[in-house]
Chains A and B, each alone.
Chain A
Amino acid sequence: MEGILSPSHPLSPHRALRELGWLAQPLVAAAPRSLWEQDTQSLPPAAAAYRRRVRRFAQRELAPRALELDLQREPQLIERVLEAAGRAGLLSDLLPAPLGSIPPGLLRVPFTLAQSLKMEELCAACAGLGLMVGASALGAVPLVLAGQPRALARHVVPAFRHSLRSRPALFAFAITEPSGGSDVEESEGALRYVPGTVARRAPGGWRLHGRKVFISGGALAQRVTVFAALEGEGMESWTCFVVGRGAPGFSVARTELKMGQRASEAAELVFDGVFVPDADVVGGLRRGWGLNRAVLNASRVPVGAIALGIARGALEGALDFAASARLAGKGLLDYQDVQLGLAQMLIEVQAMRALVWQSANTWRPAQARASIAKVFASDAALRVCEAALELLGNHGVLHARRVEKQLRDARLTQIYEGTNQINRLAILEEQQTWLASAPHGQP
């Protein structure tokens, strides 16, 4: 690269550090590997191995199909990808083997971190397909968090085993309603919200009435965890129910045409008197709001990882272009403005990863940290995609270059799992006691 000393030059830090004494060698990075590799090596061995495995899977199964599925959702092709994901254990990694597919070593890694590692790798290859995989985990999380052995045995374990052995058995998470997007994701809105999906008492169970919208994976899921208020009560009565795909009264009204993440459909689901037995109430009556917020706290960091993966994909696309293109007799990488642009993208991606991993590395995902990671990463992803497009110039508009797809994909991360505006308020909601107390400089 013009203007940058090669590693073999006597003044290159690579060479100079190598020539330091043996005492210094353990304390200096004389031959640094790629940033991805350095980060991977910083993980516990099981997590590092998992990250490498998911990356190989994503490059083999997702990346080659990403562009085709972005132009047209081909159900059979998506089914094949999901089958492969299921067999690879990526649809059942919320429970340890043999109930699910978490390998023993990975059990010591918080599941939000494992999910974040997975989502970055999948979404670096294709955010739409990555979301299909991730949305299934999201749908199963309420059941796992509720911790009811009977519900796990009745729904989660059979689905996970089915995914591992034959065809994918997906879950979907259904909270958003036509008249309530943000209201179902933050308390202030919920306070005044009149629930649109209602559970009416029936002999032996409940009947659900209403609609849910923008449900990722909703049209393909075998089971949907649906949140509904009890008839005549407000949002404080929210309860989670499991609805099977074939339940009478359950239907998919439509799937949306979206700006990006097109391989994953966003479905509108109709519940027209769907019967749910008492056994399929998740976590108990009127526990849905807490369950919902716990799920969001666990899922917002992986959404940050989705944004991170998209940004990394855009960065890699820009690097590939810069390394291969020539301009006015010089390689693009020889231009200092290109070098500076790439450096800034690397900075953004590293900052996103540091924040996502730090926020994910806990067994108790907390609201503020989850929202901070989600907001920062999704905003930064847009900046990285814009910078990548800038580097490609008019070639950036081409579908085959992938970067414009990554920009379209990234834009959704600022919206789902609560808009970034709602997430900012969520940070204050959790931290309000501390914020209201003064002085803040005291321990």
Chain B
Amino acid sequence: MTSPRTPRSRWLELGAPPSVEQRNARGAVERYLERAVRPLAERPERVPTAAQLGEVRRLAEELGLLAAPAASGLGLWEEPSVAGCRWSVGLLHRVARESATAALCLHHAALGLLLGRRLGVEDAAPWPWLYAELGLDKGLRGAALGAPPVSEAAPAEPELAPLGAGEAGRPLLLGAAEPWSALLLPRWSDARRLSWWRLPRATLELTPAPHALGLDGLSTWQVRAPRLGELLLEDVAAALALYREVLALDALGLVGIGLGATEGALAAAKDYAALRRQGGKLIVEHVAVRLLLSGAEANVLSVQALLADMTLRPEALARVLALRSVAHPQLCEAASHALQVFGGTGYLQDTGIERRLRDNYHLRLLAGTPTDLRLTALAMEDGR
């Protein structure tokens, strides 16, 4: 007895019906997965190396999936239309079915490149810009609750202070894959003033702060910046518009990655349920297992629908954030159900299921937790 595959949203299949460009792009994606991403997933118990993750980005560029000519519309986050958003989400989703770490590497690199283009920054280094998910932190959540909307990075004083100089006990955290040479980040100087800054890596004080929840292979640092860095964009309206755009794209990408990782877990659970026997029959024939599988599937379908809605109007930031707040808990539950189908085997690193659950929990905490997202969305709705 075999199990049916989870039906995927049509648009998550990287565009259908395909144009010539899309057909070519799909071929490129397949080559990319084969050469750069699947090797990361072959031995789930092994942590991806910096060299492997570097290859993830290098090959994406070589195949035009990252930093492609803007006119092609195939580079990740290069095309601002609905179709472009869907293409990007679909690509991240596809990569994350194999490796969420690889997908997040691509995602942050692409957002960094987008920011570089928008802010007019040029650099000779191949991957100069890093999008640091600093935008929607608990500081902004503070704003939603009536406190001044300063980020964790900046103190409440009206003048912008060096990064990490205030807020004792809460150093700024940065999670990223190597290599990178500078941060591009938004900073609040008071409740209404936002500006964008460039902080060269050489000027930062970085202290490794190992993480162990998920996304194995990425590095995490505590960051302090004794100097302010280079001011790139001071116009408040423009800075805020860019901030909102990046927050929305980040939210789309994170949900797409989580969905891909979860679908991978669910597919593996179905395969296992169709092979493993307990109580004299395949476990897929046990209702207890079918409840787990169907529950996971319902969650996956729900997030597919949420994500489709999010990509329709990425400019509706409050809506995007609210939907994202619902999506991640559903994905964690689905991945957890998939693990449970495996029983004790699912808890072993060799199967890769536990990694997908850990990745989902990790993604859920990035760029705003569900509570942060909901409170922020409500604050946006009522104009705070």
Q: Per-residue CB proximity of B340-352 to A under 8 Å, as 1/0? A: 1001111111100
* Residues of chain B lying within 8 A (CB to CB) of residue A408: 212-213, 358
* Residues of chain A lying within 8 A (CB to CB) of residue B288: 421-422, 424-425
- Tell me which of A20-28, A202-210, A251-259 binds B: A251-259
Task: Give the residue of B145, B168, B210, B357 whose beta carbon is less than 8 angstroms from that of A326.
Answer: B168
Q: Do B371 and A337 touch (CB < 8 A)?
A: yes
Question: Could you tell me which residues of chain B, from 157 to 196, have a CB within 8 Å of some CB in chain A?
Answer: 167-170, 173, 175
The majority secondary structure among interface residues of chain A is helix
Q: Do A393 and B147 touch (CB < 8 A)?
A: no
- Tell me which of B15-23, B79-87, B93-101, B359-367 binds A: B359-367
Known: A179-B277, A259-B347. A327 touches B365 (CB 8 A): no
Listed residue (A258, A266, A324) with the most chain B CB atoms within 10 angstroms of its CB: A258
**CA separation between A258 and B39, bound complex, in Å?**
21
Known: A326-B170, A397-B214. A259 touches B142 (CB 8 A): no
B263 interface residue (CB < 8 Å to A): no
Shortest distance between the CB of A405 and any CB in chain B (Å): 7
B2 interface residue (CB < 8 Å to A): no
Q: Do A415 and B148 touch (CB < 8 A)?
A: no
* Residues of chain B lying within 8 A (CB to CB) of residue A416: 344
Question: Could you tell me which residues of chain B, from 4 to 39, have a CB within 8 Å of some CB in chain A?
Answer: none
* Residues of chain B lying within 8 A (CB to CB) of residue A70: 212
Q: Do A327 and B210 touch (CB < 8 A)?
A: no
Task: Give the residue of B220, B358, B372 whose beta carbon is less than 8 angstroms from that of A398.
Answer: B220
Q: Do B365 and A329 touch (CB < 8 A)?
A: no
Shortest distance between the CB of A131 and any CB in chain B (Å): 13
**Interface residues in A, total, Cβ within 8 A:** 60
Residue of B nearest to A402 (CB): B212
Task: Give the residue of B155, B173, B357 whose beta carbon is less than 8 angstroms from that of A395.
Answer: B173
Shortest distance between the CB of B265 and any CB in chain A (Å): 13
Shortest distance between the CB of A67 and any CB in chain B (Å): 9
**CA separation between A306 and B137, bound complex, in Å?**
33
Q: Do B150 and A328 touch (CB < 8 A)?
A: yes
Q: Do A328 and B148 touch (CB < 8 A)?
A: yes
* Residues of chain A lying within 8 A (CB to CB) of residue B149: 328
Known: A176-B344, A182-B343, A412-B347. A335 touches B361 (CB 8 A): no
**CA separation between A258 and B169, bound complex, in Å?**
32
Known: A181-B344, A390-B369, A414-B340. A257 touches B45 (CB 8 A): yes
* Residues of chain B lying within 8 A (CB to CB) of residue A258: 347-349, 354
A437 interface residue (CB < 8 Å to B): no
Shortest distance between the CB of B338 and any CB in chain A (Å): 12
* Residues of chain A lying within 8 A (CB to CB) of residue B346: 415
* Residues of chain B lying within 8 A (CB to CB) of residue A193: 279-280
Q: Do B167 and A257 touch (CB < 8 A)?
A: no
Residue of A nearest to B155 (CB): A329
Q: Do B362 and A397 touch (CB < 8 A)?
A: yes
**CA separation between A328 and B151, bound complex, in Å?**
7
Task: Give the residue of A335, A386, A393, A394 whose beta carbon is less than 8 angstroms from that of B145.
Answer: A335
* Residues of chain A lying within 8 A (CB to CB) of residue B366: 394
B209 interface residue (CB < 8 Å to A): yes
**CA separation between A399 and B156, bound complex, in Å?**
29
A396 interface residue (CB < 8 Å to B): yes
Shortest distance between the CB of A222 and any CB in chain B (Å): 24
A282 interface residue (CB < 8 Å to B): no
Shortest distance between the CB of A213 and any CB in chain B (Å): 8
Q: Do A397 and B220 touch (CB < 8 A)?
A: yes
Known: A259-B358, A404-B213. A181 touches B343 (CB 8 A): yes
Known: A192-B280, A390-B370. A329 touches B148 (CB 8 A): yes
Q: Do B209 and A398 touch (CB < 8 A)?
A: yes
Question: Could you tell me which residues of chain A, from 61 to 78, have a CB within 8 Å of some CB in chain B?
Answer: 70-71
* Residues of chain A lying within 8 A (CB to CB) of residue B209: 398, 400
A407 interface residue (CB < 8 Å to B): yes
* Residues of chain A lying within 8 A (CB to CB) of residue B133: 394
Residue of A nearest to B369 (CB): A390
A244 interface residue (CB < 8 Å to B): no
Residue of B nearest to A416 (CB): B344
A361 interface residue (CB < 8 Å to B): no
* Residues of chain B lying within 8 A (CB to CB) of residue A394: 133, 137, 173, 175, 365-366
Q: Do B150 and A257 touch (CB < 8 A)?
A: no
Shortest distance between the CB of A299 and any CB in chain B (Å): 16
Q: Do B170 and A327 touch (CB < 8 A)?
A: yes
Q: Do B343 and A397 touch (CB < 8 A)?
A: no
**CA separation between A75 and B209, bound complex, in Å?**
25
Task: Give the residue of A327, A330, A396, A421 whose beta carbon is less than 8 angstroms from that of B213.
Answer: A396
**CA separation between A395 and B175, bound complex, in Å?**
11
Q: Per-residue CB proximity of B297-311 to A under 8 Å, as 1/0? A: 000000000000000
**CA separation between A291 and B277, bound complex, in Å?**
25
A188 interface residue (CB < 8 Å to B): yes
Q: Do B348 and A180 touch (CB < 8 A)?
A: no
* Residues of chain A lying within 8 A (CB to CB) of residue B141: 327
Task: Give the residue of A191, A192, A399, A420 whose beta carbon is less than 8 angstroms from that of B212.
Answer: A399
B242 interface residue (CB < 8 Å to A): no
Known: A397-B175, A399-B210, A414-B340. A390 touches B371 (CB 8 A): yes
Q: Do B213 and A407 touch (CB < 8 A)?
A: yes
Question: Could you tell me which residues of chain A, from 377 to 408, have a CB within 8 Å of some CB in chain B?
Answer: 382, 386, 389-390, 392-400, 404-405, 407-408
Shortest distance between the CB of A260 and any CB in chain B (Å): 8
B336 interface residue (CB < 8 Å to A): yes
Q: Do B212 and A404 touch (CB < 8 A)?
A: yes
B152 interface residue (CB < 8 Å to A): yes
**Can you list 29 contacts pairing A with B, beta carbon distance less than 8 Å?**
A176-B344, A181-B344, A182-B343, A256-B349, A256-B350, A257-B45, A259-B347, A259-B354, A325-B170, A329-B148, A330-B142, A335-B142, A337-B145, A337-B371, A390-B365, A390-B369, A390-B371, A393-B365, A393-B369, A394-B366, A398-B209, A399-B210, A399-B211, A411-B347, A411-B354, A415-B340, A421-B288, A421-B289, A424-B288
Give 5 A-B pairs besides A404-B212, A404-B361, A407-B361 with Cβ atoms closer than 8 angstroms.
A189-B279, A193-B279, A213-B344, A266-B344, A341-B371
* A-B pairs, 5 with minimum CB distance: A192-B280, A328-B142, A189-B279, A259-B354, A404-B213
